[in-house]
Amino acid sequence: MGERDEVSWQCPDFEAPDATKLGFLKRCISQGIAWQQENCNTSDMQRAMDILAGKTGGKTSSKWAKFTTGDLKRGVLEIVETLSDIRPYWGYSTDNKAFLGEANMMSKVAKAIYLESFVDRAIKDALQFAAVSGAGFIYPFYSRSMFGAGEGEFVFMAL
Helices within 11-52 (DSSP H only): 18-39, 42-52
Which sign, positive or negative, has the C-alpha torsion 141, 142, 147, 148? Answer: negative
Residue 130 forms part of a structural domain: yes
Residue 17 forms part of a structural domain: yes
Q: What is the pLDDT of residues 102-133, one digit of tens each?
A: 999 999 888 888 888 888 888 998 888 888 77
Residue 132 forms part of a structural domain: yes
Residues 154 and 100 in one domain: yes
Q: Which of 155, 114, 116, 150 is nearest to 138 (CA)?
A: 155
Domain that holds residue 13: 1-39
Residue 57 forms part of a structural domain: no
Residue 6 forms part of a structural domain: yes
Q: Which pLDDT does position 96 carry in this prediction? A: 92
Beta bridge partners, 157, equal: 139
Q: What is the pLDDT of residues 44-95, one digit of tens each?
A: 777 777 777 766 666 655 566 666 666 777 888 888 888 888 877 778 888 9
Residues 104 and 145 in one domain: yes
Question: In degrees rounded to 5, what are phi and psi of residue 134?
Answer: 90, -5
How far apart CA 157 and CA 136 sit, in angstroms, is 11
Overall domain count for the chain: 2
